């Protein structure tokens, strides 16, 4: 094995998944042995601190139980979901009000002019409803006028 252990090799060694060459290097290399010793001391110190923080005297746990019992009796619970409900309702009302107010401020289309979209729509509807092609419409109009005139004069 050339050089010292890489980070991946140290991780494998910590998980007891290292190869024999890594284990041999650790047992022969004083620098790696020193690093392993420092790691073991650091981990043992952290473990002792965690266990020390978790180990509390009985009076601490008795005080915790008393506080919880009092809080349960008063039913003092923080309910953060209520805040979200109020925020949601407020935002919804603001958006609704702004939408309604913006519709009232919209400028109406002037009554003297016709909307080009409406004119186009009427034109399309008329062309769909008629059975005649565009080129024969004047002839149909002329034929209608002639039949109206004949009926008016009494010619059958």
* Number of alpha carbons in the 13 Å side-chain half-sphere of residue 81: 1
Let me know if residue 88 belongs to a domain. no
- Asked if 36 and 49 touch (Cβ cutoff 8 Å), the reply is no
Alpha-carbon gap, residue 30 to 20, rounded angstroms: 17
10 Å Cβ neighbour count for 103? Answer: 8
130 and 77 co-located in one domain: no
Let me know if residue 32 belongs to a domain. yes
Mean residue pLDDT across the chain: 78
Indicate whether 38 pLDDT > 60.
Answer: yes
Indicate whether 63 pLDDT > 60.
Answer: yes
pLDDT per residue over 87-119, tens digit each?
A: 899 999 999 988 887 766 656 656 666 777 888
Let me know if residue 2 belongs to a domain. yes
Domain count of the fold of the chain:
2
pLDDT of residue 112: 65
Give the domain extent around 148.
116-153
| Overall pTM surpassing 0.85 (yes/no) | no
21 and 74 co-located in one domain: yes
77 and 1 co-located in one domain: yes
User: Reduced to 3 states, what is the DSSP secondary structure of residue 60?
Assistant: helix
Question: Would you put residue 142 in left (φ > 0), alpha (ψ -120 to 50) or beta?
Answer: alpha
User: Domain boundary residue among 56, 81, 106?
Assistant: 81
**Range of lowest pLDDT (1-15, 25-39, 92-106):** 1-15
């Amino acid at each position: 094995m050339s050089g010292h252990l890489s980070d991946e090799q140290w991780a494998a060694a910590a998980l007891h998944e290292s190869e024999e060459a890594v284990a041999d290097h650790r047992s022969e290399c004083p620098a790696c042995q020193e690093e392993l010793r420092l790691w073991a001391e650091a981990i043992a110190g952290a473990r002792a601190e965690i266990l020390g923080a978790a180990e509390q005297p009985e009076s601490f746990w008795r005080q915790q139980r008393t506080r919880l019992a009092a809080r349960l009796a008063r039913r003092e619970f923080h309910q953060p979901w209520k805040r979200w409900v109020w925020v949601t309702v407020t935002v919804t009302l603001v958006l609704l009000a702004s939408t309604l107010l913006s519709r009232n401020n919209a400028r109406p289309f002037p009554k003297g002019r016709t909307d080009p979209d409406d004119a186009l729509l009427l034109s399309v509807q008329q062309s769909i409803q008629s059975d005649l092609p565009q080129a024969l419409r004047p002839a149909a109009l002329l034929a209608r006028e002639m039949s109206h005139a004949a009926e008016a004069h009494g010619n059958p």
